[in-house]
Amino acid sequence: MPLRTGLLGYGIAGRVFHAPLIATTPGLELSAVVTADPTRRAHAQATYPGVQLPRAVEELFALDLDVVVVATPNRTHVPLALAAIEAGLAVVVDKPFAPTSADARRVLQAAKYRGVPVTVFQNRRWDSDFRTVRSLVAEGALGTVTRFESRFERWVPDVWDNWREFGAPEEAGGLLYDLGAHLVDQALELFGPVSTVYAELDRRRPGVEVDDDVFVALTHANGVRSHLWASSAAPDHGPRLRVLGSTGAYVSHGLDRQEEALAAGKPFDDLSTNGRLGLLDDAEEVVGLPGAYSEFYRLLVAALTEGGPLPVEPESAVRALEVIEAAFTSARTGQVVSR
């Protein structure tokens, strides 16, 4: 029997990412979607015939489910994850795991007490360009890596009326929590723990309440330096990834196309982002490994049914939150934060 899955939230995260991935993963069934918005309810019903549409969280937990996916605004991640754990259900929490590392640890303690699996949706570990870089670094194609540069830059001059742009601390809004959660996670995945954090967080657009232009510099314990950028106010975009090593470099431009394909209802795997590998003018084009967001839920099924590892160990999300908190401290004080 497939694992019956309930989806909390049907905004961009729920509608574009989670619902189509759940619905197409062998061993999973999209059984229920909770959203109060009438238009979103109609979309879910039309797209996934037979899906149940409870109007409240309590109604969802009354159903016969195996997994709950929390794809709601950041301020609700912790209470909803705790409620799912109390109900004895496996939990997937969209990134960021929680507004603070202390909150995230509280969720993990509750999960351990109840014996419930919890994981975090860090889908960009399965971006084409990141998978390619991970493979190149592992095989030593760049020699000894010295610097990792990673960017998510956009041109969105008008502030959205959306919780991601709200300034209250409990909202966990702003780019450092949003795209920064991916940037930091990828850097830690590639090069491990960090010894120092330096950050510059700015508000560039008129009327914005949260950081919309971000730079974070990490010094990893192994000596690699990661330079990370995120911006909603970038009228020109730098390389998506630039990795420098002792014998060569890898550079890629443009975003992974899986999100675009998912939003359009098109096949979302086997999409590649190409880059260039080598030394200066001798660099050659490299066909990237295909993007593979579906791997997250495939690994989740294997973990829950066969005892395999979770697709994302939740402790890694706690460590990323600790780095994000150090970045906020650095930006506020103007000082490098040692860890």
Q: What topology is assigned to 3-121 in CATH? A: Rossmann fold (3.40.50)
Structure tokens belonging to residue 327? 């970045």
Considering the chain, what is the average pLDDT of its residues? 95
Please write the tens of the pLDDT for every residue from 247-270. 999 999 999 999 999 998 887 777
C-alpha 45/C-alpha 12 separation (Å) is 16
Are 44 and 19 within 8 A, CB to CB? yes
- Residue 139: which residues within 8 A CB-CB, separation 6 or more? none
Decide which of 280 and 160 is more confident. Answer: 280
Neighbours of 254 (CB within 10 A): 12
Please write the tens of the pLDDT for every residue from 120-140. 999 999 999 999 999 999 999
| pLDDT confidence of residue 108 | 98
| Reported confidence tier of residue 155, pLDDT bands at 50, 70, 90 | very high
Neighbours of 230 (CB within 10 A): 26
Q: Give how far Cα 319 sits from Cα of 162, 164, 181, 256, 325, Å.
A: 27, 22, 11, 25, 10
pTM of the model: 0.95
Please write the tens of the pLDDT for every residue from 280-300. 988 999 999 999 999 999 999
Please write the tens of the pLDDT for every residue from 37-69. 999 999 999 999 999 999 899 999 999 999 999
Please write the tens of the pLDDT for every residue from 73-108. 999 999 999 999 999 999 999 999 999 999 999 999
For residue 189, the SS3 value is helix
For the domain bounded by 125-294+322-338, which CATH number is listed?
A: 3.30.360.10
In the chain, the amino acid numbered 50 is G
Q: Where are the domains of the chain?
A: 3-121, 125-294+322-338
Asked if residue 7 has pLDDT above 80, the reply is yes
Asked if residue 161 has pLDDT above 90, the reply is no
| pLDDT confidence of residue 159 | 84
For residue 227, which phi and psi values (nearest 5 degrees)? -115, 120
Question: What is the layout of strands, in order, in the sheet containing 225-231?
Answer: 284-286, 275-278, 249-252, 241-245, 145-153, 225-231, 213-220, 194-202, 337-338
| Reported confidence tier of residue 163, pLDDT bands at 50, 70, 90 | low
